[in-house]
Chain A
Amino acid sequence: MSQIIQQPGAKAAEGRTASVVQPPSARLPEAAAVGPKRYKPGIHPQLVIGVVLVTLIVAAAVVSMFWTPYDPLRAGVGEPLAGPSTTHWFGIDRFGRDVFSRIMAGAQLTLYVGVIAVSIAAVIGVPIGIIAGMRRGVPGALLMRGSDVLLAFPGLLLAIIFGAAFGAGTTTAMIALGIGAIPAFARVARSGTLQVMRSDYVLAARAANRSSWAIAWRHVLPNIAGLIVVQCSVNFGLAVLSEAALSFLGLGTTPPAPSWGRMLQESQQFLGSHDHLALAPGIAIAIAVLGFNLLGDGLRDVLDPRLKGVR
């Protein structure tokens, strides 16, 4: 209890809690200085790690568009199942393909799925949420109830249904994951809109006889943009995870396209003898998901200092 990690610019909320936690004698001067502290911009560790990890994935994806050490689809560039070496950093898979090149190309596919899925969810979900927040009463309630029904279908389940109905594939998976994330965006947009609608500037805009469209566009959207950005990052992580799970199940990206989930699934029969085949895609998935999660958490703290330390 006495080893307190001192953080310069301690969070206001945590400072207050600390004064409750610590017996008075153990209280440090800094922690005792309760009172509203303004948020100080500075290095936010979660945000920094998130940005670094996401940059790593984006860089791998961008570079793989122009260059990979070997052709990710070409078989026979090395001895099948060979472990990591100086010429093949992550080893070779059972068809003799270079795993490092496939991981790089897989980053491209992962980001593609994430961007499309999150875009679908945001483009449909945000307007639903804003309308529901501005027009309370029957239309708003109907819109929210409608999107709530989707909540009963977790993204992965929806993707499995779509896979059965339309055949498995990357496109099917992206669309299903996007539709599955609509309620999350609608809810966030609605709660943000409700808050904005109570503000004085909206009252002023209404008094000035501004149309609903103008209020939505000029006041609501810019003010909830931060919330939406955070939601995008969090859902991006979720989309990456779901795509990997789907491909792992054989219901996502079809071979020979390099998908991390698929690579992990193919590695299963070589477990214990050729673990590099499982570790490379596994770590890649974890880095991508962790990166977008941390980025989302960090952005949340920076964009909305009131929530600092809650999560």
Chain B
Amino acid sequence: MAWLAGQLVATLAIASLLVFWVLRVLPGDAATVALGMNATPEALATWRAEHGTDRPLIVQYGEWMAGLFRGDFGRSFLTGNDLTPLVLDRVQVTLILVGLSLALALAIAIPLGTLAAIKHRSLWGVVITGGSQLGVAIPNFLVGVLLVSFVSVRLDWLPAGGWVPPAVSLTEFLRHVTLPVIALGTVQAAIITRYVRSAVLEVMREDFLRTARAGGLTYGQALMRHGLRNAGVPIITVIGVQISAMLIGAVVVERVFVVHGLGSLLVDSAQNRDLQAVQSIVLLLVALVVVINFIVDLLYTLLDPRLRLAGSVV
């Protein structure tokens, strides 16, 4: 536990150095990036003094870190505004989107993947496996674009984009959130289905399942009582990986549906080359990814006592 937490902190520290190095050291001068190659030396000097980039890099890094610990994301290089309220507002939107999409993905993937494994030699298994193979290859933004084309523009059932917070109007929130969640969730469902199928297939080959059957349980009972818990470890792993993938996938889906979440803020900032904003948003996303993986590691030990033992020895 302490070892895992130490790893978490170390990873975040190295990641922050890496982000700072790539965004602030490698491109050279932040002022030139912001003002362009043709800016006058005076303008550059003023900009540097204004944004504090004329100070030593180590001081700038230290200040950025100290700010983050206070929950301060710094000031945008582009507008000069405080990024904190903006980022906190946007991250809620993205987390709601990802959370609902994950729920949809699991609601589809776990039953279908289990079914595909149990019936892996029948037509059903082949259809589900083939379908998930196809789903993996279809990018979420393509699903999004097609949904907008058919559901919004042709049928006019749901709005093509935008975002209404649930606190304002629950029905409008649901109407706006449905298509983005389908776009993000179904593609993830296809990926998770493949892993659920292989995890359940693996468990089905175990001796303990055969023993349980020999002891008089039906196939379904044996799988429910002994199988799913054992299939849980690899499934939890892939869910952890997929939440990270969905946080990044949300960047693209938000763009399709004009949802003002963290992802679209990141893309706008990257396009405008607002290095300070990109730096803080990226670290926030990386922190989310790392923390999710940390939680996944903890869940392992809850699901599989053997790992708990191994952990205490190491």
Contacts and interface: CB of A to CB of B under 8 A. Distances in A.
A45 to B, nearest CB: 10
A275 B15 contact: no
B255 interface: yes
Interface stretch (A14-22, A54-62, A96-104): A14-22
Contacts of B126: 5
Most buried by B among A46, A149, A249, A287: A249
Interface stretch (A84-92, A131-139, A150-158, A222-230): A150-158
A3 B122 contact: yes
B198 interface: yes
30 contacts: A3-B123, A4-B122, A14-B120, A17-B204, A20-B204, A20-B209, A21-B219, A31-B121, A152-B289, A157-B248, A160-B282, A161-B22, A161-B23, A161-B270, A163-B270, A165-B22, A165-B33, A166-B26, A168-B270, A245-B252, A249-B255, A250-B267, A282-B145, A286-B138, A287-B137, A289-B137, A290-B136, A293-B136, A293-B137, A310-B198
Given A20-B210, A250-B267, A278-B146, A160 B278 contact: yes
Contact of B267 (A3, A13, A160, A275): A160
Contact of B142 (A154, A157, A165, A285): A285
Given A282-B142, A310-B201, A310-B202, A290 B148 contact: no
A251 interface: yes
Interface string B263-277: 000110111011100
A268 B282 contact: no
B141 A18 contact: no
A164 B273 contact: yes
B236 to A, nearest CB: 17
Interface in B8-30: 11, 14-15, 18-19, 22-23, 26-27
B245 interface: yes
Contacts, number: 165
B134 A290 contact: yes
Given A164-B273, A164-B278, A264 B202 contact: no
A309 interface: yes
Nearest to B154: A272
Contacts of B154: 272
A162 interface: yes
Contacts of A168: 270-271
B139 A17 contact: no
B149 A275 contact: yes
Among B126, B201, B270, B275, find the residue whose CB has the most chain A CB atoms closer than 10 A: B270
Contacts of A286: 134, 137-139, 142
Contacts of B120: 14, 17, 309
A250 to B, nearest CB: 6
A70 interface: no
Contacts of B81: none
